[in-house]
Structure 1
Amino acid sequence: MRSSFILLALLASGAAFAQDAVTYQRPPAVIEELLLAKPTPGVSVGRNGEWLLLAERISFPGVEELAEPELRIAGLRLNPRNFSTTRGTYSNNLKLQHIKTKEIFPVTGLPGDLRSNNPQWSPDGKKVALLHYGQQRVDLYVINVETKAAGKINTAALNATSGPAFAWVDNNTLIYKTVPAGAGALPAAPAAPKGPVVQESKGRAAASRTYQDLIKSPYDEALFTYMTTSQFVLNNGQGEKNLGSPAVISGFSVSPDKQYLLVRKVEMPYSYLVPMYGFPHSWLVLDMEGREVKNLAKNPSSEGAPIGFDDVMDVPRDFSWKADEPHTVIFAKPLDGGLGKQKAEYRDAVYATDVTGNAAPKELFRTKRRFDNVTWGNKEVALVHESMFADRKERYSIYNQTTGKLDSLFEKSSNDAYSDIGTPFTIRNQYDRPVLFIQKNGELLMRSQGASPEGDMPFVQSYNLKTGKGSILWRCPANTYEYVVEALDPEKLIMLTSRESQTEVPNYYIRDLRKRSLTGTPVTDFSNPYKAMEGVSKQKISYKREDGINLTGDLYLPKGYDPKKDGPLPVFVWAYPREYKSAADAAQVRGSRYTFTRVGYGSPIFWVTRGYAILDNAEMPIVGEGNSQPNDKFIPQLYLNAHAAIQALAKMGVGDSNRVAVGGHSYGAFMTANLLAHTKLFKAGIARSGAYNRTLTPFGFQAEERTYWEAPEVYFNMSPFSFADKIKTPLLMIHGELDNNSGTFPIQSERLYNAIKGHGGTVRYVQLPFESHGYSARENLLHMLWEQSQWLDTYVKGAQ
């Protein structure tokens, strides 16, 4: 740890904190122990259901690692030394575990300093491919499951800057993107610009959201091209072969028959207003020699495209391979000009085209809402999903390829979790593509999160396509939280599940759904990494706000706490507002009371070990029914939610209503500042990485799609910056120096801090060096927890 590294802009009033820049601090020992506890391994399930790949997460990096060179261009954050993205989460210490015997084997042949993520199993489940993100290059390794040994297969370094870096073609063949030969050194920055950077608009509307890390100069354009240009390489285990010429590839996939590639190729001119995914691009089909077979579409930049949540560009989109045919591509095209607010009987048409012929694309079906996706099955059954944001409605339909009919199967509010029928189980077809598993009785097998008034109780059901009725085959047992991870044998209903409880860490089991029983002991044997949390009580509490809407939250109380003996505790409420078009949907219970407590770096749960009552995931619904929009009454509803939570804890005798803090991250930080500006309910607030002046996000934010010019009063009234003179409750503000999230520029926190300070409020602003919207460096995280501990103890626990 570099103790001399200086935090920027740590200014505060009051004697409790220094006013000058400070060195990194560490929180109380119990909080540090919880933060640095090694979590249970990540698990990847093998394709054939025989093996698990276990991987340990690499601990939080040091701030020096975040300080390494980074290119922030075109909405990407790139490592110029190894042609990959930065700020990834990596794993090492890989092991293979046999599911039935439960034997665990170490994997040999991997680098000692392995940094890997997202392993991919071969179609037959006998190999695993994964990337190693080295300091100077990215390499591709393949693990042989039989020998438990790995080896590097590439010669040229891989390019992992955008989209997938590799894919299996068959059991022995991989295709991957490499840094082109002769790429040379990173382009040198010009000593002086050749002229100004000029942008111009000639009367055409071009609304743009508040993106960060955009291209800003010709030099940025050169950097982007250099970093993202890649060369396809095919490797069949006998050697490497280059396919085609280098290009900027933002996505690719292999055809079901393994003969073609579907490629999204980015083209110039690059935009200075939108990130890479909005740049001009072509959808191409290449053969396995890299030759262009077909140009399916040439789409322009998304500059000037409509920005409503139901809007799309008036061009072909959502290209993908049709899973049940050898080389057919499907795509969607809007029928309403791409404008969601325009009246139209049908929104989208979905087409199919055989890439080997010259016939015009064939229209398959039309959707009355925006097309989302289709899961192919057989010639009579494919499951189509469509939805619209405006009315928060979604629909599942059955598409019959033989008759061409699309018949509605099920429709509900997208906010209605209780009515969710789940997602279908799939099996691999002759092309090794996932398709619907259709039971012998013609019904689908579905798994659902199982939201209910009692909380989430996952289930598996058999769903009748004729009646639209489901028959539950298995539901999560009482007092536990268990869900299906993988169908080991869907015909016999043998499933791999993950099971946990408040006191049991999640472990994997084999369950026979027909017998409704577990088959023996757990497959895995993970232990509790959070010993300091043992004895802490957790319960999901329910309460009502004054207008009758039911609310819930996860209440944590300290080990050994007795409300009659110990009295009410200081309270820390953590929340994130969500918008609904229905009061009934807003009142639904979400989550389970029986889940094992995980302690992430951003969690408020740390402070239950310091004598606080913690209300985590406190529901903050913002409802706008009928023609009204949720944000029309954002502030009054925030008050109702917060007041109800405080009173509920007071009535239980566990919370001191005069010693309550509120906090949140991102939109939760925005909520926190608003509660402090408009209520006197709290003793302190903690706001991390928020946006506080909505006029700086004038073309919409969160679930608000009206622009500032359409609803200026909404933007003004929802901005805590507008009421900074009213914020007298102590507010701790924390922000990553290099926040990359749309709208939450660090200037948002800087300006609110200055406004509160200018009006005599109590406020402290901490800017974490090199951090993005989420935080990752060990020193920064420990210091953040110290800041929050100091703030809570000073202004809440010690409050009179």
Structure 2
Amino acid sequence: MKIKNIFLSATILASTVIANAQELPYQEPPKEIKEIALAKLSPIIDFSEDYKWMLQLERAPYYSVSELAQPELRLAGIRINPETFSESRQRGYVGVTLVNMETKLERVIEGFPDQSIILNINWSPQSDKIIFFVKEGDGVYLYQCITTDNKAVKLSNRKINACFGTSLFWINNNEILTLAIPENIGNAPVGSTVPQGAIVQENSGKAQAARTYQDLLKNKFDESLFDYYFTSEIIKINNQGSLSTGIKGVITSVSLSPNKELLFVEKTHKPYSYIVPISNFPTTLSVTDINGKLIKTIAEIPLVITAMGYDTTSPYPRNFGWRPDKPATLFWTEAQDNGDPKKNKTEYADIIYQQTFPFTDVKKEVVKTKLRSYGVQWGNDSLALITESSAATRLVKTSCFKPGSDKDPVPLFEFSRDDNYNNPGRPHVVKNQYDKYVLYTNKKNNQLLLLSDGASPEGNMPYLSLYDITKKKNTILWRCKAPYYETISRIKDPVKLEIITARQSITEPVNFFIRQIKSNKVKQLTNFPNPYPSMKGVSKEQIRYKREDGVDLTATVYLPAGYSKEKDGRLPVIMWAYPREYKSASDTAQVRGSKYTFTSISYGSPIFWVKKGYCVMDNVEMPIVGGNGVEPNDNFTEQLVMNAEAAAKVIHEMGVGDTSRLAVGGHSYGAFMTANLLVHTNLFKAGIARSGAYNRTLTPFGFQAETRTYWQAPEVYNAMSPFMYADKLNGALLLIHGELDNNSGTFPIQSERFFQALKGHGATVRYVVLPLESHGYSAKENILHMLYETDSWLEKYVK
């Protein structure tokens, strides 16, 4: 009864005033931390389809708090800037350099307005033009640059509606389709400060469990704002101007048929929901011609609230798309168990159907799956791949089939989702005559090119292989070699086996190369410098060790430049981690990542503190293992403690870590982990918990991989909630949370209530709210202050 009262009171109260709270002016961390945090990063690289051109996209710096303070609407699970009809807090790019791949000549593209942000780019089919989505002060516009020039020119004065992101389709090399704000839209709705009535929600005896979501619609005024800002129309744009197709509404998705003659349009409509986001709203699915004339309404999907549990899905048709190998054929998936395999036992979980223009014939079965279908990779009339999976068992199965054939698919690969060692990789795709991506295969349709992460006991060593479907034989054609970590960015020519790779090492940042596999010739394309020169000499090592029950673990250890354990002795230690659930101990034990990667330091990284004389243990594995009928979370706390004890033991045995000066930290589920370790062990002097959840009764319909509800497993929810053990905190806990956290389950009230509980029991705790921040942080002032708070806490309670 006590727990039930906690749950009810916490959900009724939306916020709380913290006693003795104060507004502290923004502070900055020490110089060595600030320098790394503000380092200019290498640009993002993008290649034209004909590989004659390369774009270097300069990443936008951090926002300022004043930019975060700009108007923002939070509607139906999406946050937008109402002044620009676009998603808010988009980083984008602030500069573009066009590079001729043959001559290496670089040209900076000019013509973008000052203070504008480039949200997205799109190459024309002939690779001679680039379209840019550019956010200016009053909206998002399209700009075009011809590759023979270095000037970007505004293509149209029509403002783009980018509330759902950016969409663009090439009808031909000179004409495009996109979503625009309707003309003559008028002024935005104005709400009254006087309520017009009560807000009522009702349920008529039907179970409709839903996880906790942020930013939902709350009233009729929110609905009117949602309609105003999310309504768009599909327009055509060419060099002569723009033309409306007449297709208008809250368009959530649009796609162009391979023959460029039809549009598949998804529109959401009322009645809207106040308990789930837009992805669950009622939807009308239809096909029109390129000029907007309705061909057929394909389906009407009502409000969807899926059942709780593994492998549940919508009971209605889902995952619609155009077959890329056909002129105008739609395909989709239908659950045969009404979307709930626990309640409805069926031989086949899903069937994929198709229907061809003019969509008057009966739908035809393409393939059926015994597990839940997770997508088709189309090749041609003779070959396609179907992937099916079970969330309950983690099994992933890929089979090949002949579309429309009565023969059962032929299994190719079968492995656990957590078993990276046996994951063969993803098939290479190429563009066909319709400019759509399809499987690359030989004329006999019995060979595929596979790109693999190359997971192994030595870490990830990516490779390219030739897979023989008939013989089920995999032949490696190329594999990266130590001391480098090299991934395939593009396959430039699958016949000549010419690839573009991104290569890095412990001391070298990512740079791009062209490799000719057959002749083993290599040509470097970029030469980006190390953005962190002050990190020179810092050592990095991936270590392996075991926990008490024999499960193998790994972590990455960083030590200060010039450190000698004989001379300098043991160092204070920071462990940074994020727990993950597994179904088997063997999968848990696999080595993940690579020991040859360059150390890229994001704002949330613990690696900053190696510059302050700490031993940093990053990516410390915290597996929670289930299996044999036991769910991973059934003994979450016991396994978490074993993981932490094993990490503390190994760093002590290495002779570099001082286990009397240990700190632990993490973000989100890592923050949840941190709080649990401080209430269930006395290993740590301090903890850093950023944007976490601490009372699982406030997420009663599931969290992370937990699909049971609070009422089905109350003992699990209670045991996993550090809030319930607020009187048992050991060490000093720093809680940090974004004021406007948008993540499902990590409402700021989680940190507010936990702080109050800890304070009430005399714990050493500090609660820092970062103004205007979401689940991830983006303002320069807030990020520097967060680093200052973390550094001060570690210096005071650990070092």
Counterpart of 2:671? 669
Count of paired positions: 782
- CA spacing shift, 1:477–1:439, aligned 2, 3 Å: farther
Residue 297 (structure 2) pairs with residue 288 (structure 1) = no
CA distance in 2, matches of 1:795, 1:493: 56
1:473 to 473, 477, 494: 477
Q: In the alignment, what sits opposite 1:554?
A: 556
Equivalent in 463, 470, 481 of residue 467 of structure 2: 463
**1:736 paired residue among 738, 749, 756:** 738
Q: What is the identity, as a one-letter code, of the residue corresponding to 1:312?
A: T
Q: Aligned with 1:352: secondary structure?
A: strand
Are 2:47 and 1:53 equivalent residues in the alignment? no
2:112 — aligned with what? Answer: 110
Question: Are 1:98 and 2:94 counterparts?
Answer: no
> Mean alpha-carbon deviation: is it higher for 467-476 or for 28-37?
467-476
**Aligned residues of 1:9 and 1:765 also touching (Cα < 8 A):** no
1:163, CA displacement in angstroms?
4.6
Choose the corresponding residue for 2:80, options 78, 81, 106. Answer: 78
Code of the aligned partner of 1:692: Y
Q: Deviations over 1:373-415 (max 9, x none)?
A: 1111122211111111000011101011363432211111010
Q: Distance in 1 between matches of 2:759 and 2:193?
A: 40
Q: In 2, are the aligned partners of 1:10 and 1:20 still within 8 Å (CA)? A: no
Q: How does 1:747-758 map to 2 (within 5 A)?
A: 747-758=749-760
| 710-719 or 40-49, which deviates more | 40-49
What code does the residue aligned with 2:429 have? Answer: T
Of residues 423, 426, 429, the one that matches 1:426 is 429
Aligned residue for 2:215, secondary structure, equals coil
Contact in 1 for aligned 2:329/2:356 (Cα 8 Å): yes
The structure 1 residue matched to 2:454, chosen from 445, 450, 455, is 450
Determine the structure 1 residue equivalent to 2:320: 319
Matches within 5 A, 1:243-262: 243-262=245-264
2:174 maps to which residue?
172
Alignment of 1:716 with 2:718, yes or no, is yes
Secondary structure of 1:418's aligned partner: helix
Alignment pair present for 1:506 and 2:510: yes
Q: State the partner residue of 1:329.
A: 330
- Matched letter for residue 433 of structure 1: K
Match of 2:631 in 1: 629
Q: Give per-residue Cα distances to partners, 1:31-89, cap 9 Å, x unaligned.
A: 11111111000111211122111111111011011011110111010111111110111
**C-alpha displacement at 1:11, in angstroms?**
7.7
Pairing 1:184-199 to 2, within 5 Å after superposition: 184-199=186-201
Partner of 1:582: 584
Return the letter of the residue paired with 2:452. S
User: Unaligned regions of 5+ residues in structure 2, if any?
Assistant: 1-14
User: Once structures 1 and 2 are overlaid, which stretch shifts more, 242-251 or 98-107?
Assistant: 98-107
Please give the secondary structure, in 2, of the residue aligned with 1:625: coil
**Structure 1 residue 376 corresponds to structure 2 residue 349:** no
Q: Secondary structure at the match of 2:717?
A: helix
Choose 759-768 or 337-346, whichever is displaced more. Answer: 337-346
Q: Helix, strand or coil: the match of 2:421?
A: coil
Counterpart amino acid of 1:324?
D
Structure 1 residues 48-57 or 778-787, which shifts more?
48-57
Q: What is the CA deviation profile of residues 7-52 of structure 1, one whole-angstrom value per residue up to 9, with x for unaligned ones?
A: x99989xxxxx97331110000011111111100011121112211
Is residue 214 of structure 2 the alignment partner of residue 222 of structure 1?
A: no
Q: Distance in 2 between matches of 1:453 and 1:100?
A: 39
Please give the per-residue CA displacement for 1:622-663, whole angstroms capped at 9, x wherever unaligned: 000121000001001001111111111111111111111000
Deviations 1:519-550 (A, max 9, x none): x3x20111111111111111111111011111
Which piece of structure 1 moves more, 282-291 or 387-396?
282-291
Query: 1:450 touches 1:457 (CA, 8 Å); kept in 2?
Result: yes
Q: Within 2, Cα distance between the matches of 1:336 and 1:73?
A: 32
Write the distance in 2 (CA, Å) between the matches of 1:124 and 1:118: 19
C-alpha displacement of 1:291: 1.4
Residues 348-370 of structure 1: CA deviation (Å, up to 9, x unaligned): 00001113230111111101111
- Amino acid aligned to 2:63: P
Matching residue of 1:515? 519
Name the residue aligned to 1:271.
Answer: 273
SS of match in other structure, 1:722:
helix
Contact residue 572 and residue 798 of structure 2 kept, 8 A: yes
CA 1:19–1:743: 2 relative to 1, 3 Å: closer
Q: Secondary structure at the match of 2:225?
A: helix
User: Contact (CA 8 Å) 1:10, 1:764: kept in 2 or not?
Assistant: no
User: Which residue is 1:3 aligned to?
Assistant: none
Instruction: Give a deviation string over 1:537-576, Cα, whole Å, max 9, x none.
Output: 1111111101111100111110100111111110000000
In the alignment, the residues of structure 2 paired with residue 157 and residue 386 of structure 1 have an alpha-carbon distance, to the nearest angstrom, of: 41
Report if the CA contact (8 A) 2:308-2:708 is conserved: no
In 1, are the aligned partners of 2:27 and 2:785 still within 8 Å (CA)?
yes
SS of the residue corresponding to residue 632 of structure 1 reads helix
Deviations 1:458-496 (A, max 9, x none): 000001111222111111011100011001111000001
Residue 759 of structure 2 aligns to a residue whose secondary structure is: helix
Distance in 2, Cα, partners of 1:10 & 1:20: 11
Q: What displacement does 1:600 show?
A: 0.2
The aligned counterpart of 1:15 is none
TM-score (norm 1): 0.96
Report the residue type matching 1:438 in the other structure: T
Alpha-carbon distance in 1 for matches of 2:474, 2:727 = 56
| Shift in Å, 1:694 | 0.4
Partners of 1:509 and 1:608 in 2: how far apart? 31
Contact kept, 8 Å, 1:487 with 1:494, in 2: the verdict is: yes
Alignment partner, residue 10 of structure 2: none
User: Would you say the 8 A contact 1:10–1:767 is kept in 2?
Assistant: no
Distance (whole Å) between structure 1 residues aligned to residue 748 and residue 78 of structure 2: 18
Q: Quick check: 2:54–2:100 contact (8 Å CA) kept in 1?
A: yes
In the TM superposition, what is the alpha-carbon distance from 1:103 to its structure 2 partner? 2.1
Contact 2:116 2:137 in 1 (8 A): no
SS where residue 785 of structure 1 aligns? Answer: helix
Aligned to 1:133: 135
Amino acid at match of 1:129: I
Please tell me whether the aligned partners of residues 424 and 447 of structure 1 are also in contact (alpha carbons under 8 angstroms). yes
Is 1:439 the counterpart of 2:436? The answer is: no
Shift of 1:150: 1.8
Q: Give the secondary-structure state (helix, strand or coil) at the position aligned to 1:656.
A: strand
Distance 2:218 2:95 in 1: 41
Secondary structure, aligned partner of 1:117: strand
Q: Does 1:407 align with 2:419?
A: no
441-450 or 109-118, larger mean C-alpha shift: 109-118
Q: CA deviation at 1:194?
A: 1.0
Q: Once the 2 structures are TM-superposed, how far is the Cα of residue 97 of structure 1 from its aligned partner?
A: 1.2
Q: CA deviation at 1:440?
A: 5.4
Q: TM-score by structure 2 length?
A: 0.96
Shift of 1:705: 0.3
Alignment partners' CA distance in 2, 1:196 and 1:688? 36
CA contact (8 A) 1:163 1:250 kept: no
- Is the 2:350–2:370 Cα contact (8 Å) retained in structure 1? yes
The 1:601/1:557 distance shift into structure 2, 3 A limit, reads same
Cα distance 1:432–1:194, how it changes in 2: closer, same or farther (>3 A)? same
Q: Give 2:340's aligned residue.
A: 339
Cα displacement string for residues 593-641 of structure 1 (whole angstroms, at most 9, x for unaligned residues): 1111101000000000000000100000000012100000100100111
